[in-house]
Amino acid sequence: MSQKIRGVKGTRDVLPIDTYVKDEDPWVRVGHYHLVEQSARDLFPLYGYREARTPVLERTELFVRGIGEVTDIVGKEMYTFDDRGESVTLRPENTASLVRAYVEHNVNQQEPETKWWYAGPMFRRERQQRGRYRQFTQIGIEAFGSPGPRIDAEQVELLDRWLRVLGVPFEMHLNTLGDASCRPKYREALQAYLRSRAPELCEDCQKRIETNPIRVLDCKNPKCQEVAAAAPKMEQFLCEPCKVHFAGVQEMLQRLGVPFVVDPKLVRGLDYYTRTTYEAIATSGLGAQSTLAGGGRYDGLVKDLGGPDVPGIGFAAGVERLALLLAQEGKERATRPVVFIAPLGDAEAARADQLAQQLRAAGLAAEVSFRKSNPGNQLKRADTLGARFALVLGDQELKSDRAKLKELKTGAQHEVTLSGFADEVRKLTGGPR
Ligand code: ATP
Ligand code: MG
């Protein structure tokens, strides 16, 4: 045998079956992903979001300019390589890419206000942990052209509804980061305070004081959190328009009946955020990697990336973390066969294939047995597949056109004809068409 080739560290396979179960990191199956993705596909268009797909590969410059040089992502997490003289990067997030596409295709000339959603893999070279991988999946939305605050509240309400549809436990956190006219003053005050307590901070945060002081507020180190708790708050520095904006978002959320907590420590790691920021945080089941989705307003980004002065706001959710929660709760979306057909001989096999074809054409999932074995084993196999009914097809059934369809859970037997099989199954299930 040749040597096995393993997957790259920090990446994972998502299979239809459980290949292992580890308590600290339950196996996530494709069916859990489907539940997350399908609910987004169903829900987001109800709010006017349409899907956009951009490449996984972008010019490195896009993220350096779009995300900011002093962020963790650009500083140390990107997969960047030289493509024959051009530096390219596997996207670590999708907002910068969507903005690039928005600018490149002059979308604002056709649709000054537009709402997009996306789903796909992102890449960051982080330390692998439960809920933190090097290739992971994000589903997110971006709305361009609306200054808010109504769209801000609408997005938070969308995120709230989506997570409720999925049934995951979470709390919505809300904050404002101010804008270009008030944040610099806050940044200075924060910097002065942090310098005075620098020795208490972790090594990373000591560097952040000068490069990205706001990020200290968000450090997970307990000592840094202690220092952050007594730091000056953005709220005291907000300019009048930012104050009015933030009050507006809160008022609208209350009107829409969306629960939230104002969390002054909520800051986002990326440079481009302004004003409203929000995060949905899992209240149980995920340990330290508990942020399910993070979002916020980025009014300067489109312009920074060479476009017109168009405001934007969006969020990105981590599909793996959502899927982990669903897996823990035993929820998944799976298509199981409605009928499992077990033919006993060659003539029956040909008929079984035909019956399965008719069932599928009627929108009913069907499986035929490709193995020769006794009816008892066939029923066992039907059970393992999670089929609702099993049909054992022998010589007798073929001749008489009559058969007994066994309902596996209850053991009930239904008399059916082979000539009208698909119709009769459909009536029994109340299934499609
Ligand atoms: P965190 O504080 O957890 O590192 P972040 O601020 O880096 O999050 P964002 O860039 O806002 O995360 O990404 C939005 C969401 O994508 C996160 O809330 C999380 O659910 C998910 N996510 C981010 N990085 C990873 C990763 N390496 N593996 C799995 N999911 C991730
Ligand atoms: Mg991160």
Model pLDDT for residues 360-382, shown as the tens digit of each residue: 999 999 999 999 889 899 999 99
| Residue among 136, 204, 281, 326 to mutate when testing ligand 1 (max atoms within 8 A of CB) | 136
Could you give the CA distance from residue 301 to residue 272 in angstroms, rounded to a whole number? 6
What residues are in contact with ligand 1 under a 6 Å CB criterion? 93, 124, 126, 131-133, 136, 138, 269, 289, 291-294, 316-318, 320-321
Could you give the CA distance from residue 210 to residue 205 in angstroms, rounded to a whole number? 9
Per-residue pLDDT tens for 123-154?
999 998 889 999 999 999 999 999 989 999 99
Q: 318: CA distance to ligand 1 center in Å?
A: 6
Per-residue pLDDT tens for 153-177?
999 999 999 999 999 999 999 999 9
Quote the mean pLDDT of the chain.
93
Specify which residues 405 forms β-bridges with: 391, 414
Q: 27: CA distance to ligand 1 center in Å?
A: 19
Buried/exposed code over 137-160 (b: 16+ C-beta within 10 A; e: otherwise) = bbbbbbbbbbebbebbbbbbbbbb
pLDDT at position 202: 93
Please say if the pLDDT value at position 431 is more than 90. no
Ranges 11-15, 36-40, 89-93, 156-160: which has the least confidence:
11-15
Q: Which amino acid is at 187?
A: R
Residue ID of nearest Cα to ligand 1 atom 28: 132
pLDDT at position 270: 67
Please say if the pLDDT value at position 24 is more than 70. no
Contacts of 357 (CB under 8 A, 6+ apart): none
Q: 346: CA distance to ligand 1 center in Å?
A: 55
Specify which residues 141 forms β-bridges with: 117, 315
* Local confidence band at 70 (pLDDT 50, 70, 90 cut-offs): confident
Per-residue pLDDT tens for 298-353?
998 999 999 999 999 999 999 999 999 998 888 888 888 999 999 999 999 999 99
Per-residue pLDDT tens for 368-420?
999 988 989 999 999 999 999 999 999 999 999 999 999 999 999 999 999 99
**Regarding predicted confidence, which is higher, 363 or 288?**
363
Q: 400: CA distance to ligand 1 center in Å?
A: 61
pLDDT at position 416: 97
Strand residue runs (E) in 312-426: 312-318, 339-343, 366-368, 389-393, 402-407, 413-417
pLDDT at position 171: 98
Residue 290 CA: nearest ligand 1 atom is 3
Please say if the pLDDT value at position 432 is more than 80. no
Block residue for tokens 């009946």: 257
| Residue from 159, 87, 177 nearest 117 by CA | 159
Q: 136: CA distance to ligand 1 center in Å?
A: 9
Residue 330, CA atoms < 13 Å, CB-side half-sphere: 0
Integer angstrom CA distances of residue 300 from 241, 272, 428: 16, 7, 58
Please say if the pLDDT value at position 289 is more than 90. no
Integer angstrom CA distances of residue 223 from 79, 152, 216, 417: 31, 33, 11, 73
Tell me the two tokens of residue 41.
């596909």
Please say if the pLDDT value at position 22 is more than 80. no
Residue ID of nearest Cα to ligand 1 atom 5: 269
Rounded to the nearest 10°, the torsion over CA 147, 47, 316, 25 is 160
Looking at all shown ligands, the one closest to residue 318's CA atom is 1
pLDDT at position 20: 59
| Residue among 138, 217, 278 to mutate when testing ligand 1 (max atoms within 8 A of CB) | 138
pLDDT at position 241: 96
Strand residue runs (E) in 283-370: 291-297, 312-318, 339-343, 366-368
Per DSSP, the three-state class of 387 is coil
Looking at all shown ligands, the one closest to residue 316's CA atom is 1
Residue 322 CA: nearest ligand 1 atom is 20
DSSP helix, strand, coil percent of the chain (3-state; round to 5) = 40, 20, 35
Per-residue pLDDT tens for 102-131?
999 999 999 999 999 999 999 999 998 889
The pTM for the full model equals 0.91
Contact between 321 and 286 (Cβ < 8 Å): yes
